[in-house]
Amino acid sequence: MQMQAHQSFSVAVAGASGYAGGEVLRLLANHPNAQIKTVTANANAGDSLSNHQPHLVSLNHLVLEPTEPAKLAQHEVIFVALPHGASGKLTVELEQLAPHTLIIDLGADHRLVNPDDWAVFYGGEAAEPWTYGLPELVTGWGEAPPKQRSKLPGATRIAVPGCNATAVTLALGPGIAAGYLDPSDLVAVLACGPSGAGKALKPHLLASEILGSTSPYAVGGSHRHIPEIIQSLNQAAPAKAAKPALSFTPTLVPMARGILATVTAKPGPKFDQATLRQPWEVAYQQEPFIQLLPQGTWPTTAQTLGSNSAALQLTFDQAADRVVMVCALDNLVKGTAGAGVQAMNLALGLPEATGLTVNGVLP
């Protein structure tokens, strides 16, 4: 399905009462082509959308309907914002009812190519892998590095990346592709806002638990985004490069949204300290949503709040013999809903930045 710049299309959002669903609605409300027709939920069906998303004033006329595949299939674009496992069950029915409709899954179900990875990190039967929705993912190297973007035009099934996976992959991808980083020794420590865990009530995410505190979770190689990151870095790595090995430790911090990923790696065979920034400059110079900051300026989560931008900086720690990369992004925008809208634009043949902003909100 290809759209002209002036054409409109109807959109349905399943899981519209949650954080990811609400964020995609916020972005689509300002999209000149999108007409939001249907919003659905499970337990919250029958409620006014405004009861759950009071900030979406322009959409307060909508009522949450039951998540029925036949109703969703009546639209040209469907966003699925459900927990892992639930989205896979829904999309099986949607694929049968709407074989040519653009379906964008904001969850994890269709990200992983290897079903064994799904079994280990999520459990149960794996769903079919879909086109991965990270346009800026480097998939090789050269003067104009190939990227995942080329696979998105015309796609009808898109899996939006995980928020943590996006931050780590954007930090590492160019360096691994160019041979500047050794993929066999990667370490990532992330500070994450709790909105990445969704809106369901969980005691460890209560304000009384996280305010004034920070705590690690999914420690020791158990985080579900690890196989997704490895999968992406395998695409970036040269043919004879070592297999990626990643130590990944996320921590919850008392901010509603945002990710600050600090990633380090040993130098690779083509590393050149004098031209340290070159791979990232080459890879991202034409990318509107990735900001490689001036030397000496370090990313903050605050500068990306509400925007589809990722802010990136790097340096070389000579004493430790490691390259240090820091990436900040808003987990609900560039990490989820913004990536979905960006991929949607590419799939429909619209300008990639339609309905999206690089500007954040401060203070």
Catalytic annotation, residues: 163
Cα dihedral 238, 240, 242, 246 sign: positive
- Token pair in block for residue 25: 């609605």
Burial label, 181 (beta-carbon count in 10 A; 0-12, 13-18, 19+): buried
- Compute the C-alpha angle 142/340/105, nearest 5°: 110
In this structure, are strands 9-14 and 157-159 parallel, antiparallel, or unpaired? unpaired
For 22-43, letters b (16+ CB in 10 Å) and e give bbbbbbbeebebbebebbbbee
Find out whether the peptide bond into 363 is cis, omega within 30 degrees of 0: yes
Distance CA 298, CA 326 (A): 7
Per DSSP, what are the bridge partners of residue 80? 14, 105
Contact 232, 169 (CB under 8 A): yes
- Token pair in block for residue 323: 């390259």
Q: How far is CA 24 from CA 45, 97, 158, 254, 345, in A?
A: 18, 23, 15, 23, 13
Burial label, 243 (beta-carbon count in 10 A; 0-12, 13-18, 19+): exposed
